Amino acid sequence: MKARVICISRSLAAGGQNVARAVSQRLGFRYVDEDIVKQAAEREKVDVSVIEDAERRQSFLDRLLESFAVAPAPEMMAFSPGLPLTAADIEAGGTLRTTEHYRQLIRQVVQETAAQGDVVIFAHAAAMALGRDANVLRVLVTASLETRVERVAAAYALSPREAEKAIKESDKARRDYLKDFYGIGEELPTHYDLVINTDVLSPQRGVDVILAAARG
């Protein structure tokens, strides 16, 4: 296959985000992650926080551990005519749109992004949104719990117990996401075309394998 769209999902601390960025650079494809949420927010004329809340995105700790960097949080804008509504505004004034409406919008943005081609889409369960397609390569980057605990504990000077707790919370949030968005009770290797285990393969070697699969 010669894929024009690479969907990369990941378990926390498996190195998936670094792999996704490297794949996009090597192929010369766009890298898309938070742009999915931003586009959905712009389309609905709401603050990004509203879409994030509907999507039940990662916790701050989850993002920190995955990217090894702290990104500035979006500013909460005061409600006034012509300004985007925030999650707090909607909670105070009543739900203007249902959660499912926003979730459907996220899925739609993923599909439209993929239709443009030459893109690496990271997270947002894009592999599930797009399903089996000759132009799409669906990849899961994962590692064992033990390996991920080691990485998190070493990177953040956490005890193994603290690191394991953070990872298990992230894994639960991931399971809940797949169930809520796609009715998937159990994530399986067969949901993907390629599974990269970074217990065994280095991130760089994982990138090489993905590129070989994408180029056909």
**What is the CB neighbour count within 10 angstroms for residue 132?**
9
Predicted confidence (pLDDT) per residue in 51-64, tens digit: 888 776 544 444 45
Predicted confidence (pLDDT) per residue in 75-94, tens digit: 322 323 334 434 444 344 44
Long-range pairs for 199-206 at CB < 8 Å and ≥24 separation? 199/143, 199/144, 199/147, 203/15, 203/18, 203/19, 203/22, 204/22, 206/15, 206/19, 206/141
Q: Supply the pLDDT for residue 54.
A: 77
Burial of 15 (0-12, 13-18, 19+ CB in 10 A): buried
What are the boundaries of each domain within the chain?
A: 5-215
> The pTM is what?
0.80
CATH 3.90.340.10 fits 5-215, yes or no: no
As a whole number of Å, the end-to-end CA separation of the chain is: 4
Q: Supply the pLDDT for residue 79.
A: 27
Q: What percent of the chain has pLDDT over 70?
A: 80
